[in-house]
Structure 1
């Protein structure tokens, strides 16, 4: 399922993007509400939510903020709500708030990160020990091997961001896609994002200089335009997860999904084949 990201201030932009998606497909899609970054007057914020509910949206993810802020309102309207969290504490708080499921983001993930990092391998296990809602795993996953690993650690689904950026259909500049493909496994870096967060993106000259205090951070909108539109990779720090080092070619979205599902089942079959035959009980017929 795809999601409409919604961190803007203008309802008309949300309406335009929603209409464009609905025109392109009759398949279901969800909407993400990054609580802390909606950054608008409460009345305008309420107007966006009321408008989305009026469009028959049935699936919403919340992120970057307090899960109690919208959960009850959305669930009362019949919407399924998943909350994205990078911490065990956040996961428990979201479940207590009544969410239907969680998106558990390990520190490998792109974009804004909790400064107290816990990577996917440990975080999934910690969350699964404490909650019984469905978990969607995020961070470090680009194919069926990662998907199978996430399922083994307690997830019921996966989400992939960086992998889909490097797709033919992705609207970002080709330079950025090629930079993801060219990135080594150590090709991302964390940069401070005041006041409390950090952000993971490609390890560009700009990112290195900012992290060393040799260069001032660019405004977010300037970065987006320079990278996604103009393709200036060296002087920006676009979001990319550690999984960039596992992406070796640009593919179509369909091919990414088909390859992921096929390789997932290959891994499941391979693991099943490793199981030794059970010895027969004494006196039983082999």
Structure 2
């Protein structure tokens, strides 16, 4: 239940003012962006999927210089290279972790034994039930609308959120298709306690990616993403439509990870054909690059307006 201040049980659990979490995009979800989200009352998340743990250690230190607000770290299990990743997380003094892209049993017990709060990202009901059995504190329920690596059998948030809610009373963060106050109100009606923003944060003013990608998001129509690699091998993913991804849509590759080898050239060099620009369908609704605080302020104002405007029968 949301109170008039905008706080609810997710806010109380995480010590944040607004039930809005920033997605942990590889290389992008670092201190520059994450601190802006935390300072705006949401929860910034630092990624580890890049595998650059020395850099991540520095980014966590920068977070503590840039904000005194809570933040978290994501562990994308498919990309873990360091067998001591849990010790690394604990040693950084982090209190909240999201785990994703793997078995929730792999790290949950050790993280919770150290006193951390753990949410696991799930793409379907089976994944949610497995995570709940593993003892997670909450779930990030990710619909197929979202950008990034996905389950090949994608399920839309409109179906997935109430399905998972029917099986648990633990906090749920809705991801995939989340963008604004109206989508947050819809997610809450479907059983969520908060929302996670990915593509909206990629396009934010504080996002470290080059303007080319942000401009492409702003220019995108709602049909300008592609769902790739549905037949495998490896994970499926949703990305922005470019010449490269349009070709991959009809001529699948046997090595989807190889298509990301030059990700930094796309992210920070501005070459939109160097790799795959992981982007969600909400790109079709984003019309400008805005500062994080303005984005979060707008979400909360629109949320209240949307809820107040609902018909009463």
One fold, TM greater than 0.5? yes
**Greater Cα radius of gyration, structure 1 or 2:** 1
**Cα distance in 2 for residues equivalent to 1:119 and 1:241:** 12
1:159-238 maps to which residues of 2 (within 5 A)?
159-192=196-229, 194-213=232-251, 219-238=258-277
Q: Which of the residues 113, 119, 126 maps onto 1:89? A: 126
**Cα distance in 2 for residues equivalent to 1:119 and 1:68:** 25
Q: Is 1:54 matched with 2:91?
A: yes
Higher deviation after alignment, 165-174 or 18-27: 18-27
The Cα offsets for residues 218-265 of structure 1, whole Å up to 9 and x where unpaired, read as 835533122111212245321100010011111000000000011001
**Cα distance in 1 for residues equivalent to 2:309 and 2:78:** 43
User: Match of 2:290, SS?
Assistant: coil
Distance 1:263 1:5, change over 3 A: same
**Cα distance in 1 for residues equivalent to 2:166 and 2:213:** 38
1:151 aligns to what?
A: 188
Higher deviation after alignment, 25-34 or 231-240: 231-240
| Post-superposition offset of 1:159 | 0.5
User: Match of 1:260, SS?
Assistant: helix
2:10 aligns to what?
A: none
RMSD: 1.7
**Cα distance in 2 for residues equivalent to 1:197 and 1:241:** 16
1:245-264 maps to which residues of 2 (within 5 A)?
245-264=284-303
| Post-superposition offset of 1:195 | 2.0
- Unpaired runs of at least 5, structure 1: 277-286
Q: Which of the residues 60, 63, 77 maps onto 2:100? A: 63
TM-score (norm 1): 0.89
Aligned residues: 269
Contact 2:228–2:252 (CA under 8 A) maintained in structure 1: no
The Cα offsets for residues 171-225 of structure 1, whole Å up to 9 and x where unpaired, read as 0010100000000010100121742421111011110111211888683553312
**Cα distance in 2 for residues equivalent to 1:114 and 1:168:** 30
The Cα offsets for residues 105-148 of structure 1, whole Å up to 9 and x where unpaired, read as 00001100111111100000110111111100001111000000
**Cα distance in 2 for residues equivalent to 1:202 and 1:54:** 37
1:6 aligns to what?
A: 48
Distance 1:268 1:49, change over 3 A: same
User: Match of 2:261, SS?
Assistant: helix
Distance 1:149 1:33, change over 3 A: same
Distance 1:213 1:226, change over 3 A: same
Q: Is 1:116 matched with 2:114?
A: no
Q: Which of the residues 42, 60, 65 maps onto 1:18? A: 60
**Cα distance in 2 for residues equivalent to 1:196 and 1:8:** 17
Distance 1:253 1:94, change over 3 A: same
Higher deviation after alignment, 133-142 or 211-220: 211-220
| Post-superposition offset of 1:9 | 3.5
Contact 1:227–1:236 (CA under 8 A) maintained in structure 2: yes
